Structure 1
């Protein structure tokens, strides 16, 4: 192929794969388009076979970790953890929509941080629908909160988001150092989101639709809570010991899976399905396509845009470029493209890019695969995902949260170093 064709074809294939992931015609999995596209860029010479394999090899541990976290989240759902959390929030809010929104923010932020944004979107959002109905509140503010917090509240831990796992691998940080540096940016993003939500949805929050429904409180699965807590502690211990955090995730999955199989709350087939193997294949194939795009022009273009250093101005610029790129080509391809350019500059630019690719997708539906999954959940519950409202809410939250979180990161870097 000519040089021009080699540069254009990977871009067309990447956009085609993302469009397929958005539309999912006939319910086909994302991998149905991504795998042929990955094979095609290798066959056409847009990326060498050795480079493609190196990209897959690099992504395999991250994708394996993702699969374990997804399994852990599903096992928690099977044991009633999310339903119990929703019931407690409904009970404590006492029919007050403002208190319910606060409760949803707390639970969604915790679930996203500990069990990943996919758990918030797929497993918690249906619970929030039911919780709002029981509390007699309008569902809109609360279910929109799960969409935003799935992205914004995923800054805290390496396990909170696939983009975090990739950035964590490139940053050279330990698990605890990553969490310490991102704690204040995480809180800043959530605080901005909450303040904006209170104003944006003030009419919906002004009154309840009816009186709260009485209900039997489901039991809180104490055993599952303990296992999740020990698993999170295990991530930190494994990192300090020089071991992969995946071992702690595997231990948590094995404990809950053995218990679930014994009690009949899960099956081997359900366990495998909860790991989303086709989605994992999609991520690996997408990585190869992105590698072809990076090697044929994107790397050069981004290199001209990205500043050097970790000054406040440089970090803000990196976060802004990352947010813009996430909304153009999706956050996962964006972080794959940015990390090779930013990693040599240290952890600061890498974490600033992570802020951009995690907060930026709240601006458009296409910015994050999690947002696309959230739209499907809304449709399943008969709730319209209003593009205009989503965009206006994004314009109100994203710039402010981006600046607040990046300034907080700059402060933590000066306070703690890397």
Structure 2
């Protein structure tokens, strides 16, 4: 399943192989039908939430939000590539946290390419920032990443407590990434860029911004009253969809496509297949490797194990495997897993599906990604960002509690 998701032979969507694989493990008894139904019921709300957020992000793009972000970056960073890198870090971090990592990879990366071309800046530092921050900056909110949604459910935390505990690790990890990027891409950033003249400030899509802010408030409210936050995401998507349809800027078919139904089917099938692997011995094998306790050494060990597993089998299967094994140790262990599976994938191409998608987008813009360079950058950023963010999580757990 993962190999086909990486290669996508003949351009097939991931679900073409994943769905038959899910049916196969049930038909052969590798996982019982009751267990498969239970897994589907557990993942159902998460998948519904993901669909709503994907639609919300696409409709925000239709409203001009990402174009406005690109224009703002161009004006603020004109003539100064280092300043432009700061703008990219800020925009990518906020978009990833609020609208999910898919929005950063799919919608922001092309905007960054266009912005750097407009300024005559070298695109590499800024484009690499998109893929790194699509993973690293997805730590903050339960809505930022599919792995977060799964960890949020397993942790037993509410929306605000989850965000409060992850805020410091989020800032620390992004800060480490920025410091490394400044040094790693020093030559590209010193190459200079053109200054803009005579450009009008971009018009902000206020309606989209108000809907996004209201949706975030809805996440907090629904979590506080025990309602699934997916309903808040659905409400935000419906409001923007109704406006876009009324203004004839989109179609019902385009909205359905934005939900990425084949990818959602892939996630569901993957969950069932991983459940079969876990039930047939992987849980026992990994159970002996997971450190006991919730102290700093244990959190560091859990995060490192999660990062390694994410690069071996991809971060989505890794989190599905590790969450049932770490949840009994408490929210701290679950959040340490999340640090590992979100930061760790920056080390290799196969660490996350977002990175694989980013590679395809980069190639569409006639830019090649060198494996050696990508890996060297990952070796500089991942261990440092992971270790520092785990220490920050440990401190947050001591200050805030669970």
- What TM-score bracket applies, with the shorter chain setting the length? over 0.9
Deviations 1:269-304 (A, max 9, x none): 000110001100000000011111111121011100
**1:3 matched residue in structure 2:** none
- Aligned-residue RMSD, C-alpha: 1.0
Q: CA deviation at 1:208?
A: 2.3
**1:255 matched residue in structure 2:** 239
**2:162 matched residue in structure 1:** 178
**2:28 matched residue in structure 1:** 44
Calculate the TM-score normalised by the size of structure 2.
Answer: 0.98
**1:19 matched residue in structure 2:** 3
- Give unmatched runs, 5+ long, in structure 1: 1-16
2:379 is aligned, of 379, 384, 395, to: 395
Deviations 1:81-137 (A, max 9, x none): 011011011101122000000000000000000000000000000000011112221
Deviations 1:252-285 (A, max 9, x none): 1111111101111111000011000110000000
**1:4 matched residue in structure 2:** none
**1:230 matched residue in structure 2:** 214
Q: How does 1:397-416 map to 2 (within 5 A)?
A: 397-416=381-400
**2:112 matched residue in structure 1:** 128
Deviations 1:336-364 (A, max 9, x none): 00011111111000000000000000000
**Alignment check: 8 A CA contact 1:136 1:211 kept:** no
**Alignment check: 8 A CA contact 1:134 1:213 kept:** no
2:258 maps to 1:274? yes
- Give unmatched runs, 5+ long, in structure 2: none
2:341 maps to 1:357? yes
Q: CA deviation at 1:218?
A: 3.5
**1:112 matched residue in structure 2:** 96
SS of 1:392's equivalent in the other structure is helix
SS of 1:403's equivalent in the other structure is helix
**Alignment check: 8 A CA contact 1:136 1:213 kept:** no
**2:13 matched residue in structure 1:** 29
2:197 maps to 1:219? no
2:329 maps to 1:342? no
1:368 is aligned, of 352, 363, 367, to: 352
Q: How does 1:139-154 map to 2 (within 5 A)?
A: 139-154=123-138
CA distance in 2, matches of 1:417, 1:152: 23
1:296 is aligned, of 280, 297, 305, to: 280
CA distance in 1, matches of 2:92, 2:349: 19
**Alignment check: 8 A CA contact 1:326 1:368 kept:** yes
**Alignment check: 8 A CA contact 2:75 2:196 kept:** no
**Alignment check: 8 A CA contact 1:134 1:214 kept:** no
CA distance in 2, matches of 1:178, 1:135: 39
CA distance in 2, matches of 1:157, 1:189: 14
Q: CA deviation at 1:214?
A: 5.7
CA distance in 2, matches of 1:337, 1:317: 16
1:205 is aligned, of 164, 181, 189, to: 189
Q: CA deviation at 1:216?
A: 4.8
Q: Which consecutive aligned stretches of 4+ in structure 1 deviate over 6 angstroms post-superposition? A: none
The total of aligned residue pairs comes to 402
SS of 2:323's equivalent in the other structure is helix
**Alignment check: 8 A CA contact 2:79 2:193 kept:** no
2:318 maps to 1:310? no
CA distance in 2, matches of 1:287, 1:214: 53
Range with greater deviation from structure 2 (218-227 or 58-67): 218-227
Calculate the TM-score normalised by the size of structure 1.
Answer: 0.95
Q: CA deviation at 1:41?
A: 1.2
